[in-house]
Structure 1
Amino acid sequence: MIKIAIVGYGNIGRYAVDAIRAAEDMELAGIVRRPGSAPVHGIKTVASIEELGHVDVALLCTPTRSVEATALPLLEQGINTVDSFDIHDQIVNLRRSLGDKAIKHDAVSVISAGWDPGTDSAIRTMMMAMAPKGITYTNFGPGMSMGHSVVARSKEGVADALSLTIPTGSGVHRRMVYVVVKDGFQFSDVEAAIKSDSYFCHDETHVIQVPDIDSLRDMGHGVLMERKGVSGGTQNQMLKFEMRINNPALTAQVMVASARASTRIPSGCYTLPEIAPMDFLPGDREDLVARLV
């Protein structure tokens, strides 16, 4: 059995508990939360991963911007890590940083193991293999972006926030950010802080003040990827992939599958397209070949 620790207990952490419990080859060692956090009923809850004893893999269910600082000391202890880091233009640098530490301590880090970046990245890779020349458009939503919502909530003066991603076509998106402003703060200051953040400044972003978020909250999301390209010398190859999902549930499931894969590959840092698909699945390799190929 692979012993898994969950680090952080937000939306993804809650769904990760379900995914681990459903896995035939995994055991939940416990949950690591900030000191003073409430214990999780029926699950060992600690402030430090050392309190859990032996752990094979830590799922980092934390905000993206804290992933590197959280992962490095765990890798130093020889514990594999899996995260859902989602800042696309910083993935290469994170891969270098965690890769150096993982190799030094004979551990594995699987980064950006959500659905985008993550499984969508692997599908884009295969689309390019099938049609090497061409353009792939990735259209997200409409739906709740967990990473963007976390960033919006982190701004001074924000009591709660929800960021929705609205596709406008050809890989272009609009961000609709709904915020509850704390008493004593100006909405205009909150709006400026959100729009200037790197999560939002590259997209058309609208910030809207509302009295509460609960009436708007919906964890549904989705993606439509389309590639028009060329196979060899043959033009007009049309490839399409679409899904509609519960965002944190799918992210948690991908992270749990990546935890399994981390126990089957050499030390280092990996993104999902670098890992053989069957390494994500439980069971014997030849049986999987017989069933899937």
Structure 2
Amino acid sequence: MAIRIGIMGYGNIGKGIETALADYPDMELAVVFTRRNPADVKIHTSGVPVVSAGEAEKWKDKVDVLVLAGGSATDLPEQTPAYASLFNVIDTFDTHAHISEHFAKVDEVAKNHGKTAMISVGWDPGLFSLARLFGHVILPDGKDYTFWGRGVSQGHSDAIRRVPGVKDGKQYTCPVESALEAVRNGENPVLTTRDMHTRECYVVAEKGADRGTIENTIKTMPNYFADYDTTVHFISEEELKEKHSGLAHGGFVFRSGRTGVHKEHDHVMEYRLKLDSNPEFTTHVVLAYARALYRFAKEGKKGCFTVFDVPPAYLSSLSGEELRAHLL
């Protein structure tokens, strides 16, 4: 029996989940929930109902894993704990500073209602988190560095669009090349947050909005822009669509360290992602972990989990014998 996947929200992540399901034959789309008028939401999968989010409780026995496809700024902090009382849920919460707080809330609700949850699944947090973990345990005497971009951050772009007076917007995270090369060369530089990345924002303002206020609100936004050199460009809606419609992204995780009796040998571990479509890649990661979450639920595990808690074999539809024969 296929794993029944529900999607809450039909933005970039929701659409990406629907597309990605074609690559996972052991899963099927059961329902799409939306806060919009369901009649106005057109999906690609025939025969799958689009239902008002307010009707979600009626589906609690018809969905094996609910993918929460909202934004981290305001949606997921409320939605994930709420829906963890009804479904086994998985989200892409990516506000690193608040992951522990978010985990605690979801864990409490899931345990109280006998459900299984997983948060912060994607490539960072997610795959990059695992790369950092490997770096720490393999090179204990070392330093780690994470660079993102150049690419569109969905979470940061969502945060921009929620600023009063903003009609639309995109945000690019850009690594500082000199810092990146110093790390790659094993120089072990001491870098601040501001030293490693800049942020470029392309904003379409509402007619009559105060651009100075918008720019200041963006640049001083905690957890998103306040700790970075941020540039805000005001452009037309046409220019945004023409030049900034893509969703490419990527990044690097490094761990540089020393081994030997006298720490005479230097090593650099580098993990890189180069993504043409951030949401499409992210949602493939989510579905692999949704498979693991489903297995956790079948085994009776309750509460909240992260990528650190998942045995790699649980991500694959292959048997242990097949994994050993072909991938080990």
TM range (shorter): over 0.9
Q: 2:280 aligns with which of 235, 244, 249?
A: 249
Matched with 1:96 is: 104
Residue in structure 2 matched with residue 288 of structure 1 by the alignment: 323
1:232 to 1:32, Cα distance in 2 relative to 1, 3 A: farther
- What's the offset of the Cα at 1:291? 2.2
The answer to whether 1:184 aligns with 2:218 is no
CA contact (8 A) 1:130 1:231 kept: no
Deviation string 1:202-242 (CA, Å, 9 cap, x unpaired) is 11111111113112222111112221113475531211111
Q: After TM superposition, list the pairs within 5 Å mapping 1:223-234 onto structure 2.
A: 223-231=251-259, 233=261, 234=263
- Aligned twin of 2:199: 175
Please give the alpha-carbon distance, in whole angstroms, between the structure 2 residues aligned to 1:176 and 1:216: 14
Equivalent residues in 2 for 1:8-157 (5 A)? Answer: 8-37=9-38, 38-41=40-43, 42=46, 43-47=48-52, 48-52=55-59, 54-64=62-72, 65-77=74-86, 79-157=87-165
| Secondary structure, aligned partner of 2:230 | strand
Note the alpha carbon deviations across 1:43-63, whole angstroms, 9 max, x for none.
310013235451111101101
Instruction: Tell me if structure 2 keeps the 8 A contact 1:21–1:28.
Output: no
User: Match of 2:186?
Assistant: none
Choose 1 or 2 for highest CA Rg.
Answer: 2
Identical positions, percent: 31
Please tell me whether the aligned partners of residues 227 and 238 of structure 1 are also in contact (alpha carbons under 8 angstroms): yes
Q: 2:235 and 2:8 mapped to 1: Cα distance?
A: 32
Distance 2:279 2:3 in 1: 22
Cα distance in 1 for partners of 2:25, 2:303 equals 26
How much is the aligned-residue C-alpha RMSD, in angstroms? 1.6
Number of corresponding residues: 292
State the shift of 1:270 in Å. 1.4
Which residue of 209, 220, 230 corresponds with 1:196? 220
Consecutive unaligned residues in structure 1, runs of 5 or more: none
Aligned to 1:270: 305
**106-115 or 41-50, larger mean C-alpha shift:** 41-50
Q: Compare 170-179 and 185-194 and name the one that shifted more.
A: 170-179
Q: Which runs of 4+ in 1 moved over 4 A?
A: 231-234
Question: Is the 1:5–1:29 Cα contact (8 Å) retained in structure 2?
Answer: yes
AA aligned to 1:292 is L
| Distance of 2:258 and 2:302 partners within structure 1 | 36
Sort the Cα spacing of 1:231 and 1:274 in 2 relative to 1 into closer, same or farther, 3 A: farther
Tell me the residue number matched to 2:266: 236
Query: By percentage of residues, which structure has more strand?
Result: 1
Query: How far apart in 2 are the matches of 1:4 and 1:106?
Result: 19
Displacement after TM superposition at 1:273 (Å): 2.0
AA aligned opposite 1:201: A
Q: Deviations over 1:240-281 (max 9, x none)?
A: 111201211111111111111102222121121221112111
Residue segments in structure 2 that go unaligned for 5+ positions in a row: 181-192
Contact kept in structure 2, 1:24 and 1:282, CA below 8 Å: no
| SS of equivalent to 1:263 | helix
Give 3-state SS (helix, strand or coil) of 2:317's partner. Answer: coil
Which amino acid letter does the alignment assign opposite residue 22 of structure 2? R
Range 225-234 or range 179-188, more displaced: 225-234
AA at the equivalent of 1:177: C
